[in-house]
């Protein structure tokens, strides 16, 4: 496709120059094309930004990588204003490429223009938009991404959760709580990870509930692993029960590993409170883990000595 004829320009007088540039580029060496990227990137003139965009649209790997490397180094405002015009194009290659470069610039000034074309019914376009917005530190960008959680398209929903997973400073774990009950296990798993990476102890109860309700074994194992990232004491006893009594060997192993991670975060006293559980297997596990992690409080040392002294089973 001859992109130079379709790129939106403020001045049509520059069109011939852009077309001529596109036509001569295939005859240049790779080194010449890469050098052209570097040279054009130094200018804020629309025609030079347009030529750089033409090179990007060629999708030549080395050229694309070079533009990714240098694009955000200068003239960010001028480039953003050029690119937001391109997202109005009727050609998807141009729109998607413009959004990809907008992501590189991370300029919030593009958000109002992106909002004009944001439509959850168009799932492919929405993915590119959410990807671009995910790079911007701006509350409006976050709000637009969160709104995509209402989509009925499972692939778009999964992609949106992944983008929001990395915005822990902007989006709380409660945003993903209802998604732990989603009918698609892929969504449940991604939502659980998004919750876990926030490491909010208030989310522990919801994670326990999700693990108990999970019917898919593979997803349950993922949730148990993620649980080890949450410093919530409410997870200790459920994981102890799984580690000692679950009939599935992998479940027991993963629960045990998750416990080790949590024990290194929660206060020893929270774990010590489980010493009086009626189940002897759980009590033994508590004693063992207290000993492995080391204890400093005298009452905990005394408890272990007394338990070992009165023990009647291995």
| Nearest-angstrom CA–CA distance, 33 and 36 | 5
Could you tell me where the DSSP H helices lie in the chain? 15-24, 30-40, 46-57, 61-70, 76-86, 92-105, 111-117, 123-133, 139-147, 154-165, 185-196, 204-213, 217-227, 236-245, 249-263, 268-272, 280-293, 298-310
| Range with the largest mean pLDDT of 70-79, 272-281, 304-313 | 70-79
Residue 295 has pLDDT above 70, yes or no: no
pLDDT for the residue numbered 272: 79
The pLDDT tens digits of the residues spanning 88-112 come to 999 999 999 999 999 999 999 999 9
**Nearest Cα to Cα of residue 279 among 254, 255, 243:** 243
Rounded to 5°, angle at Cα 257 from 253 and 261: 170
Could you tell me where the DSSP H helices lie in 121-233? 123-133, 139-147, 154-165, 185-196, 204-213, 217-227
Question: In this structure, are residues 244 and 256 in contact, taking their beta carbons and an 8 Å threshold?
Answer: no
Question: Phi and psi (nearest 5°) for 269?
Answer: -60, -30
pLDDT for the residue numbered 305: 77
Residue 135 has pLDDT above 90, yes or no: yes
pLDDT for the residue numbered 212: 96
Which residue bears the tokens 């194992």? 221
pLDDT for the residue numbered 294: 61
The pLDDT tens digits of the residues spanning 59-74 come to 999 999 999 999 999 9
Q: How far is CA 287 from CA 64, 241, 267, 271, 314, in A?
A: 58, 14, 15, 10, 13
Residue 11 backbone class (left: φ over 0; alpha: ψ -120 to 50; beta: rest): beta
Q: What is the mean pLDDT of residues 240-259?
A: 96
pLDDT for the residue numbered 312: 74
Read off the pLDDT band of 115 (50, 70, 90): very high
Residue 297 has pLDDT above 80, yes or no: no
Read off the pLDDT band of 1 (50, 70, 90): low
**Nearest Cα to Cα of residue 184 among 163, 154, 226, 149:** 154
Structure-token pair, residue 60: 């030549």
- Contacts of the segment 125-129: beta carbons below 8 A, 24+ positions apart: 125/92, 125/95, 125/96, 126/151, 126/156, 127/156, 127/159, 128/95, 128/96, 128/99, 128/100, 129/99
pLDDT for the residue numbered 293: 65
The alpha carbon of 173 is separated from its chain's Cα centroid by a whole number of angstroms, namely 13
Read off the pLDDT band of 248 (50, 70, 90): very high
Q: What is the mean pLDDT of residues 36-57?
A: 97
Residue 228 has pLDDT above 80, yes or no: yes
The alpha carbon of 215 is separated from its chain's Cα centroid by a whole number of angstroms, namely 25
pLDDT for the residue numbered 130: 98
Terminal CA-CA length for the chain: 76
The pLDDT tens digits of the residues spanning 200-227 come to 999 999 999 999 999 999 999 999 999 9
Residue 28 has pLDDT above 90, yes or no: yes
Structure-token pair, residue 107: 């300029």
pLDDT for the residue numbered 125: 98
Q: What is the mean pLDDT of residues 12-37?
A: 95
pLDDT for the residue numbered 296: 64
pLDDT for the residue numbered 106: 96
Higher pLDDT, 134 or 275: 134
Question: In this structure, are residues 207 and 238 in contact, taking their beta carbons and an 8 Å threshold?
Answer: no
Structure-token pair, residue 221: 């194992």
Using the 8-state DSSP alphabet, how is residue 222 labeled?
Answer: H
């Amino acid at each position: 496709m001859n992109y130079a004829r379709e790129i939106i320009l403020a001045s049509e007088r520059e069109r011939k120059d852009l077309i001529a540039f596109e036509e001569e580029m295939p005859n240049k060496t790779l080194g010449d094309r890469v050098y052209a990227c570097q040279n054009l990137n130094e200018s804020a003139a629309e025609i030079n930004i347009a030529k750089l965009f033409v090179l990007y649209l060629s999708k030549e790997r080395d050229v694309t990588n070079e533009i990714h490397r240098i694009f955000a180094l200068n003239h960010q405002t001028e480039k953003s204003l050029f690119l937001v015009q391109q997202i109005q194009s009727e050609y998807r290659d141009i729109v998607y490429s413009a959004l990809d470069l907008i992501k590189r610039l991370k300029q919030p000034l593009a958000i109002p223009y992106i909002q004009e074309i944001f439509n959850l019914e168009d799932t492919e376009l929405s993915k590119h938009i959410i990807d671009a917005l995910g790079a911007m530190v701006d509350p409006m960008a976050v709000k637009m991404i969160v709104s995509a959680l209402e989509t009925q398209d499972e692939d778009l929903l999964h992609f949106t959760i992944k983008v929001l997973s990395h915005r822990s400073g902007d989006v709380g774990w409660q945003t993903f709580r209802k998604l732990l009950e989603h009918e698609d296990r892929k969504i449940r798993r991604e939502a659980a990870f998004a919750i876990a990476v926030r490491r909010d102890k208030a989310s522990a109860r919801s994670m326990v509930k999700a693990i108990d309700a999970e019917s898919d074994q593979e997803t349950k194992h993922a949730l148990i692993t993620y649980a080890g990232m949450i410093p919530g004491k409410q997870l200790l006893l459920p994981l102890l029960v799984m580690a000692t009594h679950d009939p599935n060997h992998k479940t027991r192993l993963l629960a045990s590993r998750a416990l080790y991670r949590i024990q290194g975060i929660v206060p020893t006293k929270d774990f010590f409170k489980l010493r009086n559980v009626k189940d002897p297997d759980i009590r033994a596990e508590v004693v063992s883990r207290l000993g492995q992690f080391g204890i400093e409080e005298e009452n905990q040392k005394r408890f272990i000595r007394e338990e070992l002294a009165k023990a009647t089973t291995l």
